[in-house]
Structure 1
Amino acid sequence: MRWNYRLLIDREWSGRNAVALSAGVNGIYLLRANLDVAFYDSGRQINPLTARLTGNVAGVMKLFNRCGWQAEPESDASLPHQYSLMARQGVPRQDDWS
């Protein structure tokens, strides 16, 4: 299964230049500025990561769950493809394995 992945800048995320999303295309879209506020420089997550998911959302949510991530749909009905992603507490990080 093929997935499109895009890291978007502010003007591609919203407004007249926003990237058009298609429910029929498997895609994961992240806002670059949101990455900066969602994680410390060390990589530890401190805030939810906002993502837009399209296509086989159930499949990618299952994958996220296996990898220790929880994806919840945003409550704003005007943004049907928008989700909040959080790493679950207690899931070992790769640097904890050594």
Structure 2
Amino acid sequence: MDTSNFYVDHLAWCGLIALNMARQTGAVSSAAQENLFLCRWLATAEKKRLFRRELANDIRWLLREGREKGLRADLPGKLEYLWRASSSDLLAQNDLFRLQHVMHAITLTGINYGVLTESEWEGRYAVKLSQKVPGVFLRKNDLETGFDDDGRQVNPLAVRITAALPAVDALLKRAGWQRHAITADPLLHHLMICTEEG
């Protein structure tokens, strides 16, 4: 999924419009039908070369996801993410919304995402994370104290990351967030909003 592709917002927009029209006409009325509709729509787009050559890999990837994962692929969610990530309105949202958007995008790419309680985060009953299983895990207490009433970040968010850092960084950057490594623990990082200097 290449959100840096200049034309991907057009593909996502067309897919979302086609799906919405199918919903309005009653041709699609369940999640299973949505997945089938979008798989057929993508297959037609690929076969008839309806979009620019630069989008061929994106179309193939979405089609493969829909066919192999079925409902779990969440093709409407992936298209929504691609459209939002490629359009300028994402950075106009508050910090909390943009973080939620990133975490949703992370799950769409197949990376595990979780929020850990204090006992799961550290101590005797802490969750043991494996670097063989890509994941991003936020500390629940930081989520509860990290934002003001308007959704602006007021404190750093502790996060443990077992996923490939360049992939996570790319998703964070697109939504106006950045990661800072904590040297004492290779999995521990802080998430902060991007600043002019950062």
TM-score, normalized by length of structure 1? Answer: 0.81
Counterpart CA distance in 1 for 2:186 and 2:179 is 13
The one-letter code matched in structure 1 to 2:189 is Y
Equivalence for 2:191: 85
CA apart distance, 1:55: 2.2
Q: Does 1:32 pair with 2:132?
A: no
Moved over 4 A (4+): none
Bigger CA radius of gyration: 2
Indicate the structure with greater strand content.
1
Q: Which amino acid aligns with 1:67?
A: A
CA contact (8 A) 2:136 2:163 kept: no
SS at match of 1:5: strand
Gapped regions of structure 2 (runs ≥ 5): 1-108
1:20 corresponds, among 111, 115, 128, to 128
Per the TM alignment, residue 68 of structure 1 is displaced from its structure 2 partner at its CA by 0.8
Q: Which structure is richer in relative contact order (CA contacts within 8 A, separation 6 or more)?
A: 1
Structure 1 stretches lacking a partner, 5+ long: 91-98
The one-letter code sitting in structure 2 at the alignment partner of 1:63 is L
1:81 Cα offset (Å): 0.4
Identity %: 39
Match of 1:94 in 2: none
In the alignment, what sits opposite 1:54? 162
CA distance in 1 between partners of 2:125 and 2:154 (Å): 29
Segment of structure 1 superposing worse, 41-50 or 81-90: 81-90
Say which structure is richer in helix. Answer: 2
